[in-house]
């Protein structure tokens, strides 16, 4: 051990230098990961440029077109495949006649924003709580670990539904969903961080840092955080699709994103009454959600394998988070 | 053994107490006046004050929580001005909307959730374990690859998409089944089963992906053990090795995870219930949220907590019973 602040030493199999480059190189060797990353990149671009694409199509996601739906048949769009036309590339929403292409793209923004934002909140809280539990006194550890146990044990969806009941209706919904999913879903991260911290704490380089006069939090920041990056990133990567499904589920149940803001889950909720008359209205948001969640799942799994080759079995049960039913 | 159970139950009680504090604190802090909600839209301030008095909302938060606990353990009385309503233990309060006792409401909704959960259990045990076993038996072959892809795809499908697709194909396109409407088992068992078929398939197939992976990995793990090599050396056929001996390794985890999942479902398989209009606990929770009926929401969350925590204890006991090597301490 040379300088106590030297964090580049490979610790517990986690090289700190060029780690990102190495991760990318390993991911490039897996075709499934490359395809998933490509799909997600495309989707992010589409979502970011949603207003641009909608303008290109010449449509607005919020404008009603009563003339495009057949009021005699309860509002089914005229034409085939849900009213596909040169003006409306993917057809229109039954009942209202709002442009589906524009709404789907704007819905992608909500889905991605909530999934990634909630994951960020989970990582932030999880790392802080995990570090506090791992480095704190026995009492602090005991209390924090019990809270973590409770959160891990209980189904997130039910608690999230209950939480949405106590927040005023005019609170911005995407932000609310980020906070709710973030506040309920950090327990997995904090467990991993706590376990890793307890292991790392006893290693020489951490002791050296303490001996060199660094305080507890300075040590945590400079020595522990870099070494925690790999497991935390791994867990975050497999959390994103889970969070996306929770958002879609909450919106599907009518307690998530509220109209007129478009979201895939909410479209599927409306689609429940239209699946006979207008199958396209079910298949489009369902297909998008399915592909996105699958791409995130495959990519997350690839990240896990790339960061920890010993764990190279595909989609093992223990490492996945509980799903929403 | 008895000591272990007692220890676990004590732990479970602590978890539930913590949950009740958390839930109660949240709802106490929630904006909006419960008395106004309970009283309805057209109440004048005097009536609201009266309702507040009746519901004991004038007391401090600790007194209210103490009364909540009192209701759960020994029951409590609600005065409605002219008469007194007795709410026996375990009392989870009165619904703001219907003045019905929450405990009673939960008990009324329980059979629907139970019929959904138990049917789905059968589906995932058959389909999930079967798929996992087949993929372990045909490991390395094309069958396994197809099954792996299918399982992966099923893992990424939210349950409501699966349900919507099944509805579209089975009810709208093929017209094999009418659109499901819930019929209680006691009313007409045959109609009950036909109407529950699609919800069972939806929830069961959704869960099957997990059980297929679980079965496959535990079976493969067992296949690598020494006693299996001995069976092979004796000339036992591959099929018999897998189905008679290696499958045994999959039984404890499958049983334990099933117990946990059943516990979760008694908190309401909210999405499936909502999609198929099954009046179970999940729907009760959603209705409670929509009507800001806080006692109902708190009640369902607490019932869910009890189910999940007890299921955890049961899962450990079953695991130990199925795998003699495990010693509970």
CA distance A220 to chain B (A): 30
Does a structural domain hold residue B229? yes
Residues of B whose CB is below 8 A from A278? none
Same domain, B88 and B123: no
The answer to whether A136 faces chain B, any CB pair under 8 Å, is no
CATH of the domain at B159: 1.10.3720.10
Spatial separation of the C-alpha atoms in residues B22 and B32, rounded to whole Å:
18
Both structure tokens of A169: 């209706």
Smallest Cα–Cα separation from B15: which of A194, A152, A188?
A152
- Only one residue has tokens 């309920």, namely A184
- Pick the last residue of a domain from B102, B124, B145: B102
Same domain, B182 and B212: yes
Same domain, B224 and B295: yes
Query: How would you class B45 by CB atoms within 10 Å of its CB: exposed for 0-12, middle for 13-18, buried for 19 or more?
Result: exposed
The answer to whether B258 faces chain A, any CB pair under 8 Å, is no
Same domain, B94 and B141: no
Question: Would you give the DSSP letter of residue A154?
Answer: S
Q: Which of B22, B158, B294 to substitute to test the interface with A, most A CBs within 10 Å?
A: B158
CB contact under 8 A, A162 and B285: yes
Look up the ipTM and state it. 0.85
The answer on pLDDT for B81 being more than 70 is no
The answer to whether A142 faces chain B, any CB pair under 8 Å, is no
The answer to whether B1 faces chain A, any CB pair under 8 Å, is no
Does a structural domain hold residue B293? yes
**In the prediction, which pLDDT does B31 show?**
66
Q: B137-154 pLDDT, tens per residue?
A: 888 888 888 888 888 888
Torsion B181-B187-B193-B196 (CA) sign: positive
Residues of B whose CB is below 8 A from A147? 18
Does a structural domain hold residue B329? no
CB contact under 8 A, B19 and A150: yes
CA distance A60 to chain B (A): 27
Q: B31-79 pLDDT, tens per residue?
A: 666 677 667 667 777 777 777 777 777 777 788 888 888 888 877 777 6
- Pick the last residue of a domain from B77, B102, B127: B102
CB contact under 8 A, A158 and B268: yes
Please give the residue that has the higher pLDDT: either A48 or B87.
Answer: A48
Does a structural domain hold residue B328? no
The answer to whether A221 faces chain B, any CB pair under 8 Å, is no
Which residues 184-203 in chain A show a CB within 8 A of chain B? none
Structural domain harbouring B77: 1-102
**Whole-model pTM?**
0.85
Contact present, A128 and A194 (Cβ < 8 Å)? no
Residues of B whose CB is below 8 A from A165? 30, 288-289, 292, 294, 297
Q: B219-244 pLDDT, tens per residue?
A: 888 888 888 888 888 988 888 888 88
* Dihedral pair phi/psi, residue A77, rounded to 5°: -65, 145
Q: What confidence category does residue B119 fall into, taking pLDDT thresholds of 50, 70 and 90? A: very high
The enclosing H or E element of A76 equals strand A76-77
CA distance A34 to chain B (A): 17
**In the prediction, which pLDDT does A117 show?**
95
The answer to whether B301 faces chain A, any CB pair under 8 Å, is yes
**In the prediction, which pLDDT does B32 show?**
66
What is the domain count for chain B? 2
**In the prediction, which pLDDT does B41 show?**
67
Low-confidence ranges of chain A (pLDDT < 70): 1-18, 68, 75, 80-84, 86, 88-89, 309-325
- Pick the last residue of a domain from B75, B102, B129: B102
Q: Which residue of B has its CA nearest to A293?
A: B156
The answer to whether B148 faces chain A, any CB pair under 8 Å, is yes
The answer on pLDDT for B106 being more than 50 is yes
Question: Would you give the DSSP letter of residue A105?
Answer: H
Mean pLDDT, chain B, rounded, equals 83
Contact present, B30 and B61 (Cβ < 8 Å)? no
Same domain, B19 and B149: no
Q: A173-185 pLDDT, tens per residue?
A: 889 999 999 999 9
CB contact under 8 A, A253 and B286: yes
Same domain, B10 and B52: yes
CA distance A137 to chain B (A): 21
The answer to whether A245 faces chain B, any CB pair under 8 Å, is yes
**In the prediction, which pLDDT does A259 show?**
80
Q: Which residue of B has its CA nearest to A150?
A: B15
**In the prediction, which pLDDT does A313 show?**
45
* Sequence spans of domains, chain A: 9-324
Spatial separation of the C-alpha atoms in residues B76 and B40, rounded to whole Å:
24
For the ranges A247-256, A303-312, B17-26, B112-121, the lowest mean pLDDT is seen at A303-312
Same domain, B67 and B166: no
Same domain, B177 and B309: yes
Same domain, B177 and B313: yes
* pLDDT (average), residues B262-276: 84
CB contact under 8 A, B213 and A316: yes
**In the prediction, which pLDDT does B127 show?**
93
Smallest Cα–Cα separation from B269: which of B123, B151, B71, B147?
B123
The answer to whether A84 faces chain B, any CB pair under 8 Å, is no
Does a structural domain hold residue B9? yes
Contact present, B131 and B149 (Cβ < 8 Å)? no
Spatial separation of the C-alpha atoms in residues A280 and A303, rounded to whole Å:
34
Q: B163-217 pLDDT, tens per residue?
A: 999 998 888 888 888 888 888 888 888 888 888 999 999 999 999 988 998 898 8
Pick one of 3.40.50.300, 3.40.50.2300, 3.90.1720.10, 1.10.3720.10 as the CATH number of A9-324.
Answer: 1.10.3720.10
Q: What confidence category does residue B88 fall into, taking pLDDT thresholds of 50, 70 and 90? A: confident
Cβ within 8 Å of residue A4, ≥6 positions away: A205, A208, A209, A211, A212, A214
**In the prediction, which pLDDT does B203 show?**
92
């Amino acid at each position: 051990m040379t300088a106590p602040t030297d964090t580049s030493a490979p610790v517990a199999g986690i090289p700190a230098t060029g780690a990102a480059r190495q991760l990318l190189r390993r991911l490039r060797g897996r075709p499934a990961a490359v395809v998933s990353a490509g799909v997600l990149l495309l989707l992010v671009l589409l979502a970011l440029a949603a207003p641009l694409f909608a303008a290109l199509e010449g449509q607005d996601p919020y404008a009603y077109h009563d003339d495009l739906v057949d009021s005699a048949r309860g509002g089914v769009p005229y034409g085939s495949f849900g009213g596909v036309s040169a003006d409306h590339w993917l057809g229109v929403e039954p009942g209202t006649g709002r442009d589906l292409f524009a709404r789907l793209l704007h819905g992608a923004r909500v889905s991605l924003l909530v999934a990634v934002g909630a994951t960020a909140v989970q990582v932030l809280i999880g790392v802080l709580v995990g570090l506090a539990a791992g480095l704190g006194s026995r009492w602090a550890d005991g209390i924090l670990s019990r809270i973590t146990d409770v959160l891990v044990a209980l189904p997130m969806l039910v608690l999230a539904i209950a939480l949405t009941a106590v927040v005023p209706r005019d609170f911005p919904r995407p932000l609310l969903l980020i906070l709710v999913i973030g506040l309920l879903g950090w327990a997995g991260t904090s467990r991993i961080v706590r376990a890793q911290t307890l292991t790392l704490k006893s290693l020489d380089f951490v002791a050296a840092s303490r001996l060199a006069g660094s305080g507890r939090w300075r040590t945590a920041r400079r020595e522990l955080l870099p070494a925690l990056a790999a497991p935390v990133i791994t867990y975050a990567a497999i959390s994103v699709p889970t969070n996306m499904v929770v958002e879609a589920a909450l919106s599907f149940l009518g307690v998530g994103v509220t109209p007129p803001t478009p979201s895939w889950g909410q479209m599927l909720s409306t689609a429940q009454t239209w699946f006979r008359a207008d199958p396209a209205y079910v298949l489009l948001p369902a297909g998008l959600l399915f592909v996105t969640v699958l791409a995130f799942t495959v990519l997350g799994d690839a990240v896990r394998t790339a960061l920890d080759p010993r764990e190279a079995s595909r989609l093992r049960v223990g490492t996945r988070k509980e799903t929403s039913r | 053994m008895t000591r272990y159970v007692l220890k676990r139950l004590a732990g479970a009680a602590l978890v539930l107490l913590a949950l009740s504090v958390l839930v109660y604190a949240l709802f106490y802090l929630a904006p909006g006046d419960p008395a106004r909600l309970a009283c309805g839209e057209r109440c004048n301030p005097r009536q609201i004050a009266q309702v507040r008095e009746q519901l004991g909302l004038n007391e401090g938060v600790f007194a209210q929580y103490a009364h909540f606990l009192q209701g759960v353990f020994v029951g409590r009385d609600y005065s409605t001005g002219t008469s007194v309503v007795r709410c026996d233990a375990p009392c989870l309060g009165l619904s703001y909307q219907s003045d019905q006792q929450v405990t009673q409401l939960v008990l009324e909704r329980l059979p629907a959730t139970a019929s959904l959960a138990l049917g789905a259990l059968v589906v995932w045990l058959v389909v999930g374990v079967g798929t996992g076993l087949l993929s372990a038996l045909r490991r390395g072959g094309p069958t396994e690859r197809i099954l792996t892809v299918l399982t992966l795809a099923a893992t990424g499908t939210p349950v409501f998409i699966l349900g919507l697709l099944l509805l579209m194909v089975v009810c709208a396109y093929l017209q094999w089944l009418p659109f499901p409407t819930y019929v209680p088992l006691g009313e007409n068992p045959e109609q009950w089963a036909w109407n529950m078929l699609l919800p069972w398939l939806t929830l069961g197939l959704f869960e099957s992906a997990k059980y297929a992976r679980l079965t496959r990995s535990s079976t493969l793990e067992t296949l690598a053990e020494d006693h299996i090599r001995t069976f092979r050396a004796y000339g036992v056929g591959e099929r018999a090795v897998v189905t008679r001996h290696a499958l045994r390794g999959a039984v404890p985890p499958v049983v334990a995870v099933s117990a946990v999942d059943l516990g979760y479902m008694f908190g309401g398989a909210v999405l499936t219930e909502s999609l198929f209009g099954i009046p179970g606990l999940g729907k009760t929770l959603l209705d409670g949220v929509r009507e800001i009926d806080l006692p109902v929401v708190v009640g369902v969350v607490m019932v869910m907590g009890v189910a999940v925590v007890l299921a955890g204890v049961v899962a450990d006991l079953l695991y130990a019973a199925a795998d003699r090597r495990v010693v509970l301490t």
